[in-house]
Amino acid sequence: MSDTQGKILKGIGGFYYVNVADTVYECKARGLFRKDGKKPLVGDDVRMEILDEEKRIGNVTELLPRRSELLRPAVANVDQALIIFAMASPDPTLNLLDRFLVMMERSGLPTIVLFNKEDLGSPEYCRHLVEVYRGAGYETLPVSCATGEGVDAVRALLQGRTTTVAGPSGVGKSSLINRLLGDLVMETGAVSEKIDRGRHTTRHSQLLRIAEDTYIMDTPGFSSLEVRGIEKEDLWNYYPEFRPFEPRCRFAQCSHLHEPQCAVRAAVESGEISEERYGNYGLLYREIESRKKY
């Protein structure tokens, strides 16, 4: 029995699949984690003991300190998020995109926005959305996984980082990941055989290595996202484009919805803040306000 360090690639049904020097071990977590109220997450760096080298079986014995943690998706040690929406098939739901961005802002995680299937959507609308989200402060790229357009630029943004990839079903996450993996697809297929338990479900996150010190975390698609843990008075903080204007508002604790001499609303009227983003801010503000009444 030997002791070593690795990284959790996937966790299903109480089993954790730990990568050590490109070898994947099927592990159980020792009971001490349950006793301490700790749960290993995909992306965790861990210490483990190898029980059977031939069968690739081991035990996770220690969770190493996390540098970051997300609740949805539940992952650890990511450096940035890559949120993917499609320009068409399905059409982008910007309210859902903005909810995700709010949660990433709350987590302090830098986020890249990708609009895939640019070849299927209106070029004018694609340019408009890129301008909106770049104007909000996000690295934003149009890409086409079908043609490969923009994929090299994405690869450069991921280099040397662990990135969680998320988006609704059908936007082309798998196509993008396959493009990024390239020659590593066969190697990833071999890893998939080891973690075949539950392989065909989309309910679990999985960490994939695309280059040295470069990982992407594939996560389940989502169709809704409820924003929790944010007070309505603090919501504006999670809209980066609001921040330069908020100090100029006449009233402290301005909701930016109805008060007179609101600098944020004035910025919307002048075109300095996107009307779409501001409209989604209002919807989310009222949703939080309504939830607090019950």
Dihedral sign of CA atoms 185, 186, 187, 193 in order:
positive
In this structure, what CATH number is given to the domain that contains residue 196?
Answer: 3.40.50.300
Six token digits for residue 176: 């993008």
Residues 33-78: pLDDT tens digits?
A: 766 777 899 999 999 999 999 999 999 999 999 988 887 678 899 9
Q: What is the count of structural domains for the chain?
A: 3
Question: Does residue 186 register a pLDDT over 60?
Answer: no
User: Which H, E and C letters describe 186-246, residue by residue?
Assistant: HHHHHHHHHCCCCCCCCCCCEEEEEECCEEEEECCCCCCCCCCCCCHHHHHHHCHHHCCCH
Residues 187-238: pLDDT tens digits?
A: 444 444 444 433 333 457 788 888 878 889 887 776 667 777 899 999 999 9
Shared-domain flag, residues 211 and 251: no
pLDDT class for 32, splitting at 50, 70, 90? low
Shared-domain flag, residues 54 and 152: no
Which is it for strands 15-20 and 111-116: parallel, antiparallel or unpaired?
A: unpaired
pLDDT for the residue numbered 293: 62
Domain encompassing residue 25: 2-63
Q: pTM of the entire structure?
A: 0.83
Residue 207 host element (H or E): strand 206-211
Residues 136-181: pLDDT tens digits?
A: 999 999 999 999 999 999 999 999 999 988 888 899 988 999 898 8
224 in a domain, yes or no? Answer: no
Q: How many of the other CB atoms lie within 10 Å of CB of 207?
A: 23
In this structure, what CATH number is given to the domain that contains residue 44?
Answer: 2.40.50.140
